[in-house]
Amino acid sequence: MTTPVNVTVTGAAGQIGYALLFRIASGAMLGPDTPVRLRLLEIPQAVRAAEGTAMELDDCAFPLLAGIDIHDEPAAGFAGTNIALLVGARPRGPGMERADLLEANGGIFGPQGKAINDGAADDVRVLVVGNPANTNALIAAAHAPDVPAARFTAMTRLDHNRALSQVSAKAGVPVADIRRLAIWGNHSATQYPDLFHAEVGGSPGGALTADAGWLTEDFIPTVAKRGAAIIDARGASSAASAANAAIDHTRDWVLGTPEGDWTSAGVVSKGEYGVPEGLVCSFPVTSSGGEWQVVEGLEIDDFSRERIDASVAELSAERDAVRELGLV
Ligand code: NAD
Ligand code: LMR
Protein backbone atom coordinates (compact mmCIF):
# COMPACT_ATOMS: atom_id res chain seq x y z
CA MET A 1 0.00 0.00 0.00
CA THR A 2 1.21 3.56 -0.74
CA THR A 3 2.53 5.44 2.31
CA PRO A 4 -0.29 7.54 3.78
CA VAL A 5 -0.16 11.32 3.44
CA ASN A 6 -0.27 13.06 6.83
CA VAL A 7 -2.95 15.76 6.87
CA THR A 8 -3.26 18.05 9.90
CA VAL A 9 -6.53 19.92 10.36
CA THR A 10 -6.66 22.60 13.05
CA GLY A 11 -10.02 23.59 14.49
CA ALA A 12 -11.03 20.01 13.77
CA ALA A 13 -13.99 20.12 16.15
CA GLY A 14 -15.46 23.24 14.55
CA GLN A 15 -18.06 23.64 11.85
CA ILE A 16 -15.69 23.59 8.90
CA GLY A 17 -13.73 20.73 10.42
CA TYR A 18 -16.89 18.65 10.58
CA ALA A 19 -17.63 19.29 6.91
CA LEU A 20 -13.99 18.75 5.85
CA LEU A 21 -12.63 15.68 7.59
CA PHE A 22 -15.04 13.16 6.11
CA ARG A 23 -14.36 14.33 2.57
CA ILE A 24 -10.60 14.16 3.07
CA ALA A 25 -10.95 10.64 4.45
CA SER A 26 -13.17 9.61 1.53
CA GLY A 27 -10.46 10.50 -1.00
CA ALA A 28 -12.14 13.64 -2.37
CA MET A 29 -9.01 15.73 -1.73
CA LEU A 30 -6.06 13.58 -2.77
CA GLY A 31 -7.76 11.05 -5.04
CA PRO A 32 -8.94 7.45 -4.76
CA ASP A 33 -5.45 5.90 -4.59
CA THR A 34 -3.94 7.96 -1.77
CA PRO A 35 -4.40 6.85 1.84
CA VAL A 36 -4.43 9.59 4.48
CA ARG A 37 -3.58 9.79 8.15
CA LEU A 38 -5.52 12.55 9.88
CA ARG A 39 -4.12 14.67 12.69
CA LEU A 40 -6.79 16.69 14.46
CA LEU A 41 -5.39 19.70 16.29
CA GLU A 42 -7.66 21.44 18.77
CA ILE A 43 -7.52 23.49 21.93
CA PRO A 44 -7.82 21.37 25.11
CA GLN A 45 -11.46 22.37 25.75
CA ALA A 46 -12.48 21.00 22.34
CA VAL A 47 -10.54 17.73 22.41
CA ARG A 48 -13.56 15.79 23.64
CA ALA A 49 -15.63 17.02 20.71
CA ALA A 50 -12.76 16.12 18.35
CA GLU A 51 -12.81 12.62 19.85
CA GLY A 52 -16.48 12.37 18.95
CA THR A 53 -15.73 13.37 15.36
CA ALA A 54 -12.93 10.78 15.28
CA MET A 55 -15.39 8.11 16.46
CA GLU A 56 -17.66 9.03 13.57
CA LEU A 57 -14.75 8.90 11.14
CA ASP A 58 -14.00 5.38 12.40
CA ASP A 59 -17.62 4.45 11.92
CA CYS A 60 -17.46 5.38 8.24
CA ALA A 61 -14.84 2.62 7.71
CA PHE A 62 -13.19 4.66 4.96
CA PRO A 63 -10.80 2.34 3.08
CA LEU A 64 -8.31 5.23 2.58
CA LEU A 65 -8.20 6.33 6.23
CA ALA A 66 -4.97 4.95 7.69
CA GLY A 67 -5.34 6.47 11.16
CA ILE A 68 -6.47 9.40 13.29
CA ASP A 69 -4.49 11.18 16.01
CA ILE A 70 -5.82 13.97 18.20
CA HIS A 71 -3.54 16.67 19.60
CA ASP A 72 -3.91 19.82 21.66
CA GLU A 73 -0.39 21.06 21.16
CA PRO A 74 1.05 22.31 17.82
CA ALA A 75 4.46 20.58 17.93
CA ALA A 76 2.84 17.14 18.05
CA GLY A 77 0.01 18.12 15.72
CA PHE A 78 2.34 19.15 12.90
CA ALA A 79 5.15 16.59 13.40
CA GLY A 80 5.82 15.00 10.02
CA THR A 81 2.78 16.54 8.41
CA ASN A 82 2.60 16.87 4.61
CA ILE A 83 -0.55 18.99 4.36
CA ALA A 84 -1.63 21.47 7.03
CA LEU A 85 -5.10 22.96 6.83
CA LEU A 86 -5.19 25.82 9.34
CA VAL A 87 -8.89 26.27 10.00
CA GLY A 88 -9.05 27.01 13.74
CA ALA A 89 -8.97 30.72 14.48
CA ARG A 90 -10.22 33.19 17.03
CA PRO A 91 -13.52 34.70 15.87
CA ARG A 92 -14.16 38.40 16.43
CA GLY A 93 -15.96 38.83 19.75
CA PRO A 94 -18.14 41.70 21.01
CA GLY A 95 -16.22 44.96 21.31
CA MET A 96 -13.11 43.51 19.62
CA GLU A 97 -11.32 45.84 17.23
CA ARG A 98 -9.58 44.54 14.13
CA ALA A 99 -6.19 44.98 15.84
CA ASP A 100 -7.41 42.82 18.77
CA LEU A 101 -8.41 40.14 16.28
CA LEU A 102 -5.05 40.30 14.52
CA GLU A 103 -3.25 40.05 17.85
CA ALA A 104 -5.36 37.12 19.07
CA ASN A 105 -4.75 35.27 15.83
CA GLY A 106 -1.05 36.12 15.94
CA GLY A 107 -1.01 34.10 19.16
CA ILE A 108 -2.35 31.11 17.21
CA PHE A 109 -0.66 31.34 13.80
CA GLY A 110 2.80 32.38 15.06
CA PRO A 111 3.30 29.24 17.21
CA GLN A 112 1.68 27.06 14.53
CA GLY A 113 4.07 28.46 11.89
CA LYS A 114 6.99 27.72 14.22
CA ALA A 115 5.78 24.17 14.85
CA ILE A 116 5.46 23.63 11.09
CA ASN A 117 8.97 25.01 10.64
CA ASP A 118 10.41 22.74 13.29
CA GLY A 119 8.63 19.50 12.68
CA ALA A 120 6.62 19.21 9.46
CA ALA A 121 7.70 17.08 6.51
CA ASP A 122 10.03 18.67 3.95
CA ASP A 123 7.24 18.84 1.38
CA VAL A 124 4.70 20.49 3.73
CA ARG A 125 1.98 22.56 2.08
CA VAL A 126 -0.10 24.93 4.20
CA LEU A 127 -3.55 26.33 3.50
CA VAL A 128 -4.87 28.98 5.88
CA VAL A 129 -8.67 29.13 6.09
CA GLY A 130 -9.10 30.83 9.48
CA ASN A 131 -9.75 34.56 9.18
CA PRO A 132 -8.25 37.01 8.50
CA ALA A 133 -6.83 34.28 6.24
CA ASN A 134 -4.30 36.24 4.16
CA THR A 135 -2.69 37.93 7.14
CA ASN A 136 -2.78 34.78 9.26
CA ALA A 137 -0.87 33.05 6.44
CA LEU A 138 1.62 35.91 6.46
CA ILE A 139 2.14 35.47 10.22
CA ALA A 140 2.56 31.69 9.94
CA ALA A 141 5.05 32.03 7.07
CA ALA A 142 7.05 34.63 9.03
CA HIS A 143 7.52 32.05 11.81
CA ALA A 144 8.72 29.37 9.42
CA PRO A 145 11.96 30.69 7.92
CA ASP A 146 13.13 27.22 6.85
CA VAL A 147 9.98 26.47 4.83
CA PRO A 148 9.79 28.08 1.37
CA ALA A 149 7.31 30.98 1.53
CA ALA A 150 5.48 29.57 -1.50
CA ARG A 151 4.27 26.68 0.68
CA PHE A 152 2.02 29.07 2.65
CA THR A 153 -1.28 29.96 1.01
CA ALA A 154 -4.59 31.55 2.00
CA MET A 155 -7.99 30.42 0.83
CA THR A 156 -9.84 32.50 -1.75
CA ARG A 157 -11.20 29.47 -3.58
CA LEU A 158 -14.57 29.93 -1.90
CA ASP A 159 -14.76 33.43 -3.38
CA HIS A 160 -13.78 31.98 -6.77
CA ASN A 161 -16.50 29.33 -6.55
CA ARG A 162 -19.04 31.95 -5.48
CA ALA A 163 -18.13 34.02 -8.55
CA LEU A 164 -18.53 30.97 -10.82
CA SER A 165 -21.98 30.33 -9.42
CA GLN A 166 -23.11 33.96 -9.87
CA VAL A 167 -21.89 34.04 -13.49
CA SER A 168 -23.55 30.72 -14.22
CA ALA A 169 -26.89 32.04 -12.97
CA LYS A 170 -26.58 35.31 -14.87
CA ALA A 171 -25.44 33.82 -18.19
CA GLY A 172 -27.47 30.59 -18.02
CA VAL A 173 -24.28 28.61 -18.64
CA PRO A 174 -23.20 25.57 -16.59
CA VAL A 175 -20.28 26.25 -14.24
CA ALA A 176 -18.27 23.63 -16.14
CA ASP A 177 -18.33 25.93 -19.18
CA ILE A 178 -16.95 28.97 -17.36
CA ARG A 179 -13.19 29.43 -17.31
CA ARG A 180 -10.53 31.90 -16.25
CA LEU A 181 -12.37 33.89 -13.60
CA ALA A 182 -10.09 35.47 -11.02
CA ILE A 183 -10.27 36.78 -7.47
CA TRP A 184 -7.70 39.44 -6.67
CA GLY A 185 -6.62 40.77 -3.27
CA ASN A 186 -7.84 39.98 0.23
CA HIS A 187 -10.42 37.44 1.41
CA SER A 188 -12.61 40.28 2.61
CA ALA A 189 -15.25 42.63 1.29
CA THR A 190 -12.55 44.52 -0.66
CA GLN A 191 -11.71 41.52 -2.87
CA TYR A 192 -12.10 41.99 -6.61
CA PRO A 193 -13.77 39.24 -8.65
CA ASP A 194 -12.54 39.80 -12.22
CA LEU A 195 -14.56 38.76 -15.27
CA PHE A 196 -12.57 40.60 -17.90
CA HIS A 197 -10.43 37.61 -18.92
CA ALA A 198 -13.12 34.99 -18.45
CA GLU A 199 -14.64 32.70 -21.04
CA VAL A 200 -18.33 32.00 -20.49
CA GLY A 201 -19.88 29.24 -22.58
CA GLY A 202 -17.20 29.75 -25.25
CA SER A 203 -17.75 33.52 -25.46
CA PRO A 204 -15.62 36.25 -23.87
CA GLY A 205 -16.75 37.06 -20.32
CA GLY A 206 -16.25 40.69 -21.29
CA ALA A 207 -19.73 40.57 -22.83
CA LEU A 208 -21.19 40.32 -19.31
CA THR A 209 -19.12 43.27 -18.15
CA ALA A 210 -20.93 45.42 -20.72
CA ASP A 211 -23.86 45.32 -18.28
CA ALA A 212 -22.14 47.86 -16.01
CA GLY A 213 -25.03 48.03 -13.54
CA TRP A 214 -25.00 44.27 -13.00
CA LEU A 215 -21.20 44.20 -12.74
CA THR A 216 -20.76 46.97 -10.18
CA GLU A 217 -24.01 46.79 -8.23
CA ASP A 218 -24.77 43.10 -8.32
CA PHE A 219 -21.94 40.74 -9.27
CA ILE A 220 -18.97 42.32 -7.46
CA PRO A 221 -20.77 43.11 -4.16
CA THR A 222 -22.67 39.82 -4.13
CA VAL A 223 -19.43 37.83 -4.37
CA ALA A 224 -17.46 40.10 -2.03
CA LYS A 225 -20.15 40.20 0.67
CA ARG A 226 -21.38 36.62 0.34
CA GLY A 227 -19.71 35.56 3.58
CA ALA A 228 -21.69 38.17 5.51
CA ALA A 229 -24.92 37.21 3.69
CA ILE A 230 -24.45 33.56 4.73
CA ILE A 231 -23.84 34.57 8.35
CA ASP A 232 -26.98 36.70 8.24
CA ALA A 233 -29.10 33.87 6.81
CA ARG A 234 -27.63 30.88 8.65
CA GLY A 235 -26.66 32.52 11.92
CA ALA A 236 -23.20 31.00 11.47
CA SER A 237 -20.47 31.43 8.90
CA SER A 238 -20.22 29.27 5.81
CA ALA A 239 -18.98 25.79 6.62
CA ALA A 240 -19.73 23.16 3.97
CA SER A 241 -18.90 25.53 1.11
CA ALA A 242 -15.70 26.60 2.90
CA ALA A 243 -14.71 22.96 3.43
CA ASN A 244 -15.47 22.24 -0.23
CA ALA A 245 -13.24 25.12 -1.29
CA ALA A 246 -10.41 23.85 0.93
CA ILE A 247 -10.72 20.46 -0.79
CA ASP A 248 -10.67 22.13 -4.24
CA HIS A 249 -7.65 24.29 -3.37
CA THR A 250 -5.59 21.42 -1.97
CA ARG A 251 -6.55 18.97 -4.73
CA ASP A 252 -5.53 21.43 -7.44
CA TRP A 253 -2.31 22.33 -5.62
CA VAL A 254 -1.25 18.68 -5.34
CA LEU A 255 -2.73 17.23 -8.52
CA GLY A 256 -2.68 20.30 -10.83
CA THR A 257 -5.23 22.60 -12.48
CA PRO A 258 -6.94 21.59 -15.74
CA GLU A 259 -5.28 22.57 -19.02
CA GLY A 260 -6.50 25.93 -20.34
CA ASP A 261 -8.06 27.09 -17.07
CA TRP A 262 -6.88 28.78 -13.92
CA THR A 263 -8.22 29.27 -10.42
CA SER A 264 -7.66 31.71 -7.54
CA ALA A 265 -5.49 31.37 -4.44
CA GLY A 266 -3.84 33.64 -1.91
CA VAL A 267 -0.10 33.19 -2.52
CA VAL A 268 2.98 35.11 -1.41
CA SER A 269 3.52 37.93 -3.91
CA LYS A 270 6.81 38.13 -5.73
CA GLY A 271 5.76 41.58 -6.96
CA GLU A 272 3.45 40.38 -9.74
CA TYR A 273 1.05 43.05 -11.05
CA GLY A 274 2.65 45.62 -8.74
CA VAL A 275 1.50 43.85 -5.55
CA PRO A 276 4.17 44.49 -2.88
CA GLU A 277 6.49 41.55 -2.43
CA GLY A 278 5.70 39.35 0.55
CA LEU A 279 1.98 40.11 0.86
CA VAL A 280 -0.27 37.05 0.74
CA CYS A 281 -2.57 38.16 -2.07
CA SER A 282 -5.13 36.37 -4.21
CA PHE A 283 -4.15 36.09 -7.87
CA PRO A 284 -5.25 34.02 -10.84
CA VAL A 285 -3.06 30.92 -10.55
CA THR A 286 -2.35 27.61 -12.22
CA SER A 287 -0.75 24.64 -10.56
CA SER A 288 1.59 22.00 -11.92
CA GLY A 289 4.22 19.80 -10.30
CA GLY A 290 2.78 20.70 -6.89
CA GLU A 291 3.48 24.42 -7.23
CA TRP A 292 1.28 27.43 -7.84
CA GLN A 293 2.22 29.86 -10.60
CA VAL A 294 0.65 33.30 -10.88
CA VAL A 295 -0.83 33.80 -14.35
CA GLU A 296 1.26 36.60 -15.78
CA GLY A 297 0.82 39.02 -18.66
CA LEU A 298 -2.90 39.80 -18.24
CA GLU A 299 -3.95 43.26 -19.30
CA ILE A 300 -5.42 45.16 -16.37
CA ASP A 301 -7.59 48.11 -17.32
CA ASP A 302 -8.30 51.14 -15.10
CA PHE A 303 -11.54 49.65 -13.73
CA SER A 304 -9.76 46.53 -12.50
CA ARG A 305 -6.61 48.36 -11.42
CA GLU A 306 -8.51 50.63 -9.05
CA ARG A 307 -10.22 47.68 -7.39
CA ILE A 308 -7.10 45.53 -7.14
CA ASP A 309 -5.20 48.45 -5.63
CA ALA A 310 -7.91 49.04 -3.01
CA SER A 311 -7.81 45.44 -1.80
CA VAL A 312 -4.00 45.34 -1.86
CA ALA A 313 -3.97 48.56 0.21
CA GLU A 314 -6.05 46.74 2.83
CA LEU A 315 -3.56 43.84 2.83
CA SER A 316 -0.69 46.31 3.28
CA ALA A 317 -2.53 47.94 6.19
CA GLU A 318 -3.06 44.55 7.84
CA ARG A 319 0.64 43.77 7.38
CA ASP A 320 1.57 47.11 8.94
CA ALA A 321 -0.74 46.40 11.89
CA VAL A 322 0.79 42.98 12.59
CA ARG A 323 4.28 44.44 12.16
CA GLU A 324 3.48 47.02 14.80
CA LEU A 325 2.31 44.23 17.08
CA GLY A 326 5.63 42.44 16.47
CA LEU A 327 3.89 39.44 14.90
CA VAL A 328 5.88 39.35 11.65
P1 NAD B 1 -15.80 27.28 14.54
O2 NAD B 1 -15.83 28.32 15.61
O3 NAD B 1 -16.97 26.39 14.33
O4 NAD B 1 -14.54 26.32 14.78
C5 NAD B 1 -13.27 26.82 15.06
C6 NAD B 1 -12.54 25.75 15.83
O7 NAD B 1 -11.18 26.17 15.98
C8 NAD B 1 -13.09 25.52 17.24
O9 NAD B 1 -13.37 24.14 17.41
C10 NAD B 1 -11.96 25.98 18.15
O11 NAD B 1 -11.86 25.21 19.34
C12 NAD B 1 -10.74 25.75 17.24
N13 NAD B 1 -9.55 26.51 17.62
C14 NAD B 1 -9.47 27.77 18.11
N15 NAD B 1 -8.20 28.08 18.38
C16 NAD B 1 -7.44 27.02 18.00
C17 NAD B 1 -6.06 26.72 18.06
N18 NAD B 1 -5.18 27.60 18.54
N19 NAD B 1 -5.64 25.51 17.60
C20 NAD B 1 -6.51 24.61 17.13
N21 NAD B 1 -7.85 24.82 17.08
C22 NAD B 1 -8.30 26.01 17.52
O23 NAD B 1 -15.41 28.07 13.21
P24 NAD B 1 -15.58 27.59 11.70
O25 NAD B 1 -16.94 27.95 11.23
O26 NAD B 1 -15.11 26.19 11.55
O27 NAD B 1 -14.59 28.62 10.98
C28 NAD B 1 -13.20 28.55 11.20
C29 NAD B 1 -12.51 29.77 10.60
O30 NAD B 1 -12.65 29.76 9.18
C31 NAD B 1 -13.07 31.13 11.05
O32 NAD B 1 -11.96 32.00 11.26
C33 NAD B 1 -13.87 31.60 9.86
O34 NAD B 1 -13.99 33.01 9.83
C35 NAD B 1 -13.01 31.09 8.74
N36 NAD B 1 -13.64 30.99 7.41
C37 NAD B 1 -12.85 31.27 6.34
C38 NAD B 1 -13.37 31.18 5.06
C39 NAD B 1 -12.52 31.46 3.84
O40 NAD B 1 -13.07 31.46 2.74
N41 NAD B 1 -11.24 31.73 3.95
C42 NAD B 1 -14.71 30.78 4.88
C43 NAD B 1 -15.47 30.48 6.00
C44 NAD B 1 -14.93 30.59 7.28
C1 LMR C 1 -16.84 33.56 4.36
O2 LMR C 1 -16.32 34.09 3.36
O3 LMR C 1 -17.87 32.88 4.30
C4 LMR C 1 -16.23 33.81 5.72
O5 LMR C 1 -14.89 34.20 5.57
C6 LMR C 1 -17.03 34.83 6.44
C7 LMR C 1 -16.57 35.03 7.86
O8 LMR C 1 -16.40 36.22 8.23
O9 LMR C 1 -16.39 34.06 8.59
- Ligand 1 pocket check for 237: Cβ under 6 Å: yes
How high is the pLDDT of residue 96? 77
How high is the pLDDT of residue 98? 74
Torsion, Cα of 70, 74, 78, 84 (10° steps): 90
How high is the pLDDT of residue 277? 98
Asked if residue 227 belongs to a known ligand binding site, the reply is no
Cα(102) to centroid of ligand 2, in Å? 15
- Ligand 1 pocket check for 10: Cβ under 6 Å: yes
Cα(21) to centroid of ligand 1, in Å? 14
How high is the pLDDT of residue 1? 64
Block mean pLDDT (10 aa), the chain, length 328? 93 98 98 98 98 98 98 98 96 76 91 98 98 96 98 98 98 96 97 97 87 95 95 92 98 97 98 98 98 98 98 97 93
Cα(169) to centroid of ligand 2, in Å? 22
- What end-to-end distance do the CA atoms of the chain give, in Å? 41
Establish whether this prediction's ipTM goes over 0.95.
yes
How high is the pLDDT of residue 224? 97
Asked if residue 80 belongs to a known ligand binding site, the reply is no
Q: Tell me if 136 sits within 8 A of 89, measured CB to CB.
A: yes
Domains annotated on the chain, with CATH: 5-154 (3.40.50.720), 157-318 (3.90.110.10)
How high is the pLDDT of residue 187? 96
Angle at 232 between CA 228 and CA 237, to 5 degrees: 60
Of 73, 131, 226, the residue with max ligand 1 atoms within 8 A of its CB, to mutate for a pocket test, comes to 131
Angle at 93 between CA 189 and CA 158, to 5 degrees: 35
